[in-house]
Copies of this chain bind each other. A is one copy, B any other.
Amino acid sequence: MNLTLWIGLLAATLTTSSFFPQALKTWRSQRADDFSWSYLLLFGVGILMWDLYGLLRQDTAITLANTITLALIGVIILTKFRSER
């Protein structure tokens, strides 16, 4: 596998795994005030589109990475929604 593909895989792994510590911090603190709703919704829909893109291209890596990210963003969205009710 060539260098460029390795860098792409590393990029995908880093950006996807970055949401684990964030979702954990948000879940534990039950605080998401500093997140902007526009960010969460735009980013969430964007990740949904990447998921759809991965499915259409039958690219398991893109689909898997974005499904995980979607679930983790969901934790932050849920926390912000509940904390603002």
Interface residues of A in 1-24 (CB under 8 A from B): 3-4, 7-8, 10-19, 21-22, 24
The reply to whether A15 and B47 form a contact with Cβ atoms under 8 Å apart is: yes
We find that the number of chain A residues with CB closer than 8 angstroms to chain B is 41
Give the residue name and chain of the B residue nearest to A15 (CB): B46
Which residues on the B side are within 8 Å of A13 (C-beta)?
46
A residues lining the B interface (CB < 8 Å) = 3-4, 7-8, 10-19, 21-22, 24-26, 29, 31-36, 38-43, 45-47, 49-50, 52-53, 56-57
Using A11-B53, A18-B38, A34-B34 as known contacts, list a sample of 13 further A-B pairs with CB atoms less than 8 Å apart, ordered by residue number in A.
A4-B53, A4-B56, A7-B56, A8-B50, A11-B49, A18-B41, A19-B43, A21-B39, A22-B35, A25-B34, A25-B36, A25-B39, A33-B34
